[in-house]
């Protein structure tokens, strides 16, 4: 076996004698059927079939029928082109430069395809779904055409003279073609044997009086030869497949490896998933936060579409550059035809036999040249079809993307208009609320003279305006509360635990400002501290501390601060004056001698106290009437009460009300009156045992 044959089979990882046996077996089988193995004796159609099989095997991953595979007719035309092509046709084409350009273009195509199938819009109109689906379909088809055009051009570049690689690639390609030719011959033999077997079956089944006894023997022989041819064909197919796998290198191998990065281009059952788009109509009445989020999403979609438009233009320019060498070859082919036409001369009318034979040879040569140019022109035209379709498809994709961008810009303008209108509405409502609050404040200050009632109304104003403002802001900015329900629950629980004292104080505030609450100026006693209230807040109240002994209380200069929640503490009672009253009860006590006549003395003492009480009794009665009117119920009128008691001997005690503001002066006058009355009456002096004692019945 020839050295090149051994090298080839060594590359195919087959033993040389195994391949030789296969070739010999195939050759003998073909000779036995009356067919020849050399390619020169194979018909034109058989040569085309052989070339198509070889091209399909060489392009691994691009079998006939796949969307990225070259067209069968184009592969046939490429296979019958002379290798290398004439330099006059391929002048100026650098194979290495074009190969790098093809791989660069395919890399850009894959990146563009990945970019286009990625969802970019979450909100929009139903038409945006159509734009997205059309963009993905166009990107998929453009990528398929790019791989198809790249394989066609790679096959064309393989027939352009490149001295740097001719020594490396020429031998394996020749042996592979030999295997393909033999395989085609075996296939043709199988078809002939099948036809003969069918004819024999027809003869055997035909009705006849004298059947031929040789027909069954012929049928058995044909079946045996058909099985042998089938086994030979299967073996050659395996050898050719291994040859293809081992020789799948260079530009075609790089193209196949790039195609593996996007296997969905070949598998028609795998389609890119278009992301769902939320309808824009339901968001026009959404809150400011939702509309702002949608607006930013549309801005991002606009930028993404703009990026895809730029990428489409880059691919379009690359595709045009890839088509340029093909157009140059077409122009060179046309020019070669015109040159051939101009060099052709008409034959003379009368010629000798030698001249006629020479002219016939010249005409045959000219016809062959025309046929070669026609085949080359047809092939290059077929090769340029996929890349031209890719150019047109990229232009359509750009138009679709431009329309999509216009639709997104219109949607963005709609959302922006709705957002601005909602913000303006919120601002208008807040302005109205603050205007009403300002009128409320002015009316309260002007028409409410009671400071306590004025403070309450102003506080209610702040609460109402603040609450309504919060409702407007929350309702304006947020409209979807479903996702906030769980989060709001945790937040509420945390606030309730962390701010329970403050919340309790806020709740107690409404009891403080109630009917029996505490107001500024009230004298109260809480937690053992007595004082006058100077400020009532939402969380705390302030009181000026008072201290003293007996009936005298004086400011200490300190302010006691209590949380409103002190009202809910069981061990800390709060005492205050009845609303509308400004008096307290004092008691004056005198010791009496049991063995004396003390009745005149008691009358004298009672009269002295009554004379002083009579001076302010009318004011006490007026306060009592105001309390009855305020409480809407009858109450016992305050007044003097005298009694004898034996707590510490015989004592005479008189209980009387006294105004808080003049308590000290009133007590002083009563004591003076009693002492003067006793000193001026001898009977009273004999009955009284010691000085009078004065005390406050209730402190403060």
CATH number at residue 609: 3.30.70
Q: Is the pLDDT of residue 356 over 90?
A: no
pLDDT, average across residues 674-679: 88
Same domain, 546 and 600: no
**Beta pairing class for 583-591 and 693-696:** antiparallel
Q: Where does a domain end: 550, 576, 602?
A: 576
What's the pLDDT at 35? 45
Q: Which is more confident, 355 or 231?
A: 231
Q: Which is more confident, 60 or 201?
A: 201
Q: Which is more confident, 697 or 405?
A: 405
As given in the structure block, the two tokens for residue 669 are 């006058």
Give the integer Cα–Cα distance in Å for 59 and 67: 13
Model's pTM, two decimal places? 0.51
Residue 454 is assigned to a structural domain of this protein? no
**Partners of residue 525 on adjacent β-strands:** 530, 575
Same domain, 35 and 124: yes
pLDDT, average across residues 566-583: 77
Q: Is the pLDDT of residue 615 over 50?
A: yes
For the ranges 57-61, 596-600, 661-665, 691-695, which has the lowest average pLDDT? 57-61
Radius of gyration, alpha carbons of the chain: 58
Same domain, 110 and 155: yes
As given in the structure block, the two tokens for residue 6 are 């051994």
Give the integer Cα–Cα distance in Å for 337 and 379: 15
pLDDT, average across residues 549-560: 78
Same domain, 513 and 543: yes
Q: How far is CA 586 from CA 418, 644, 645, 647, in A?
A: 74, 16, 16, 18
For the ranges 289-293, 560-564, 672-676, which has the lowest average pLDDT? 289-293
Q: Which residues are CB-contacts of 81 (< 8 A; sequence separation ≥ 6)?
A: 156, 159, 375, 376, 379
Q: What is the pLDDT of residues 168-177, one digit of tens each?
A: 444 444 566 6
Helices (H) and strands (E) in the chain, counts: 18, 11
What's the pLDDT at 434? 92
Give the integer Cα–Cα distance in Å for 544 and 554: 10
Same domain, 80 and 199: yes
The most confident of 68-72, 255-259, 690-694, by mean pLDDT:
690-694
Burial label, 281 (beta-carbon count in 10 A; 0-12, 13-18, 19+): exposed
How many folded domains does the chain comprise? 3
Q: Is the pLDDT of residue 359 over 70?
A: no
Q: What is the pLDDT of residues 126-164, one digit of tens each?
A: 777 788 888 888 888 888 888 888 888 887 777 776 654
pLDDT, average across residues 271-286: 67
Give the integer Cα–Cα distance in Å for 665 and 659: 10
Residue 421: other Cβ atoms inside 10 A: 12
Q: Provide the residue count of the chain.
A: 700
Residue 538: other Cβ atoms inside 10 A: 17
Residue 428 is assigned to a structural domain of this protein? no
Give the integer Cα–Cα distance in Å for 453 and 445: 10
Residue 312 is assigned to a structural domain of this protein? yes
Residue 189: other Cβ atoms inside 10 A: 23
Same domain, 344 and 240: yes
Q: How far is CA 368 from CA 233, 339, 361, 372, 686, in A?
A: 34, 15, 11, 6, 170
> Maximum CA pair distance of the chain?
195
For the ranges 10-14, 73-77, 123-127, 625-629, which has the lowest average pLDDT? 10-14
The most confident of 275-289, 399-413, 425-439, by mean pLDDT:
425-439
Residue 446 is assigned to a structural domain of this protein? no
Residue 631: other Cβ atoms inside 10 A: 14
State which residues form the domain around 564.
502-576
Same domain, 683 and 590: yes
Same domain, 173 and 287: yes
Residue 594 is assigned to a structural domain of this protein? yes
Averaged confidence pLDDT in the chain: 76
Same domain, 597 and 526: no
Q: Look-up: residue for tokens 């290198």?
A: 249
For the ranges 376-380, 385-389, 596-600, which has the lowest average pLDDT? 376-380
Q: Look-up: residue for tokens 């750009």?
A: 398
The per-residue b/e assignment along 209-232, b for 16 or more CB within 10 angstroms, e otherwise, is: eeeeeeeeebbeebeebbebbeeb
Q: How far is CA 668 from CA 434, 548, 661, 671, in A?
A: 56, 16, 14, 5
Question: Can you spell out the DSSP letters for 203-222?
Answer: HHHS--SS--THHHHHHHHH
Give phi and psi for 250, each to the nearest 5.
Answer: 75, -150
Q: Is the pLDDT of residue 36 over 50?
A: no
Same domain, 556 and 594: no
Give phi and psi for 546, each to the nearest 5.
Answer: -120, 145
Q: pLDDT tier at 599 (50, 70, 90 boundaries)?
A: confident
Q: Where does a domain end: 359, 394, 413?
A: 413
Q: How far is CA 174 from CA 168, 178, 214, in A?
A: 12, 6, 44
Give the integer Cα–Cα distance in Å for 15 and 11: 10
The most confident of 121-125, 590-594, 661-665, by mean pLDDT:
590-594
For the ranges 171-185, 471-485, 583-597, which has the lowest average pLDDT? 171-185
Q: How far is CA 254 from CA 261, 321, 343, in A?
A: 11, 20, 43
DSSP state of 29: H
- Whether 541 and 505 have beta carbons less than 8 Å apart is answered as no
What's the pLDDT at 34? 45
Same domain, 655 and 554: no
What's the pLDDT at 143? 86
Residue 193 is assigned to a structural domain of this protein? yes
Three-class DSSP category at 494: helix
Q: Which is more confident, 373 or 551?
A: 373
Give phi and psi for 273, each to the nearest 5.
Answer: -90, 125
Q: Which residues are CB-contacts of 654 (< 8 A; sequence separation ≥ 6)?
A: 587, 588, 589, 605, 606, 609, 640, 641, 642
Q: Which of 560, 566, 466, 456 is nearest to 513 (CA)?
A: 456
Q: In percent, how much of the chain has pLDDT > 70?
A: 75
- Whether 565 and 504 have beta carbons less than 8 Å apart is answered as yes
As given in the structure block, the two tokens for residue 273 are 């998933």
Q: Is the pLDDT of residue 45 over 90?
A: no
Three-class DSSP category at 554: strand
Residue 460 is assigned to a structural domain of this protein? no
Give the integer Cα–Cα distance in Å for 177 and 173: 6
Q: Is the pLDDT of residue 48 over 60?
A: no
Give phi and psi for 69, each to the nearest 5.
Answer: -85, 150
Residue 669 is assigned to a structural domain of this protein? yes
pLDDT, average across residues 14-36: 44
Helix orientation angle between 126-157 and 95-117, rounded to the nearest 10 degrees:
160
Q: Is the pLDDT of residue 363 over 90?
A: no
DSSP state of 584: E
The per-residue b/e assignment along 52-65, b for 16 or more CB within 10 angstroms, e otherwise, is: bbbbbbbbbbbeee
Provide the CA 559 distance to its chain's centre, in angstroms. Answer: 58
Q: pLDDT tier at 6 (50, 70, 90 boundaries)?
A: very low
Q: What is the pLDDT of residues 302-312, one digit of tens each?
A: 898 899 899 88
Give the integer Cα–Cα distance in Å for 265 and 259: 8
Same domain, 273 and 333: yes
What's the pLDDT at 346? 46
What's the pLDDT at 432? 93
What's the pLDDT at 87? 65
Q: How far is CA 367 from CA 90, 330, 337, 363, in A?
A: 22, 19, 11, 6
Q: What is the pLDDT of residues 468-490, one digit of tens each?
A: 998 888 878 776 656 566 667 77
Q: Is the pLDDT of residue 1 over 60?
A: no
**Beta pairing class for 523-526 and 574-576:** antiparallel
Question: Can you spell out the DSSP letters for 50-62?
Answer: HHHHHHHHHSTT-
First to last CA, the chain: 133
What's the pLDDT at 429? 92
Give the integer Cα–Cα distance in Å for 536 and 517: 10
Q: Which of 465, 560, 566 is nearest to 509 (CA)?
A: 566
Q: Where does a domain end: 413, 446, 464?
A: 413
């Amino acid at each position: 076996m020839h050295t090149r044959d051994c090298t080839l089979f060594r590359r195919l990882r087959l033993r040389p004698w195994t391949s030789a046996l296969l070739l010999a077996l195939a050759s003998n089988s073909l000779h036995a059927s009356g067919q020849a193995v050399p390619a020169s004796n194979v018909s034109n159609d058989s040569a085309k079939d052989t070339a198509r099989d070889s091209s399909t095997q060489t392009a691994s991953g691009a079998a006939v029928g796949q969307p990225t595979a070259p067209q069968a007719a184009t592969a046939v035309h490429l296979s019958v082109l002379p290798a290398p092509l004439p330099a006059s046709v391929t002048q100026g084409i650098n194979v290495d430069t074009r190969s790098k350009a093809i791989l660069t273009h395919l890399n850009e195509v894959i990146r563009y395809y990945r970019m286009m199938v990625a969802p970019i819009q979450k909100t929009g109109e139903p038409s945006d779904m159509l734009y997205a689906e059309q963009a993905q379909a166009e990107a998929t088809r453009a990528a398929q055409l790019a791989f198809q055009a790249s394989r066609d051009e790679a096959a064309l570049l393989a027939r352009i003279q490149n001295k740097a690689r001719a020594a490396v690639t020429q031998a394996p390609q020749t042996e592979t073609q030999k295997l393909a030719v033999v395989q085609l011959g075996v296939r043709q033999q199988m078809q002939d044997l099948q036809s003969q077997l069918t004819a024999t079956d027809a003869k055997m089944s035909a009705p006849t009086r004298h059947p031929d006894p040789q027909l069954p023997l012929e049928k058995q022989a044909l079946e045996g030869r058909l099985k042998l041819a089938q086994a030979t064909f299967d073996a050659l197919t395996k050898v050719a497949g291994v040859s293809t796998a081992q020789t799948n290198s260079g530009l075609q191998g790089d193209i196949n490896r790039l195609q593996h990065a996007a296997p969905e281009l070949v598998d028609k059952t795998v389609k890119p998933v278009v992301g769902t788009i939320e309808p824009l109509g339901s968001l026009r009445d959404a809150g400011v936060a939702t509309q702002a989020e949608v607006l930013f999403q549309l801005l991002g979609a606009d930028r993404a579409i703009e990026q895809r438009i730029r990428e489409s233009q880059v691919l379009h320019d690359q595709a045009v550059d890839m088509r340029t060498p093909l157009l140059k070859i077409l122009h060179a082919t046309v020019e070669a035809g015109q040159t051939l036409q101009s060099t052709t001369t008409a034959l003379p009318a009368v010629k000798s036999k030698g001249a006629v034979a020479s002219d016939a040879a010249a005409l045959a040569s000219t016809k062959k040249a025309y046929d070669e140019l026609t085949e080359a022109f047809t092939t290059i035209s077929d090769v340029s079809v996929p890349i031209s379709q890719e150019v047109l498809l990229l232009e359509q994709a750009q138009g679709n993307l431009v329309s999509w961008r216009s639709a997104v810009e219109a949607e963005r303008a709609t959302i922006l208009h709705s957002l601005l209108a909602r913000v303006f509405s919120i601002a208008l409502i807040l302005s109205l609320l603050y205007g009403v609050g300002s009128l409320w404040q002015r009316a309260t200050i002007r028409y409410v003279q009671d400071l306590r009632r004025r403070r309450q109304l102003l506080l209610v104003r702040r609460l109402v305006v603040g609450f309504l403002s919060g409702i407007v802001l929350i309702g304006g900015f947020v409209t979807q509360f479903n996702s906030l329900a769980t989060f709001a629950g945790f937040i509420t629980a945390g606030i309730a635990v962390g701010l329970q004292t403050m919340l309790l104080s806020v709740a107690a505030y409404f009891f403080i400002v109630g009917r029996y609450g505490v107001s500024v100026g009230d004298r109260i006693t809480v937690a053992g501290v007595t004082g006058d209230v100077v400020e009532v807040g939402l969380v705390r109240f302030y009181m000026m501390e008072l201290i003293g002994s007996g009936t005298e209380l004086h400011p200490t200069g300190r302010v006691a601060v209590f949380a409103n929640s002190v009202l809910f503490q069981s061990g800390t009672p709060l005492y205050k004056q009845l609303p509308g009253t400004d008096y307290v009860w004092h008691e004056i006590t005198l010791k009496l001698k049991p063995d004396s006549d003390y009745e005149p003395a008691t009358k004298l003492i009672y009269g002295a106290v009554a004379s002083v009480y009579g001076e302010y009794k009318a004011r006490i009665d007026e306060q009592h009437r105001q309390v009855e009117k305020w409480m809407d119920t009858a109450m016992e009128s305050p007044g003097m009460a005298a009694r004898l008691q034996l707590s510490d001997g015989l004592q005479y005690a008189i209980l009387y009300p006294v105004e808080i503001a003049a308590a000290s002066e009133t007590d002083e006058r009563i004591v003076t009156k009693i002492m003067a009355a006793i000193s001026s009456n001898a009977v009273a002096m004999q009955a009284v045992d010691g000085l009078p004692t004065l005390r406050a019945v209730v402190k403060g």
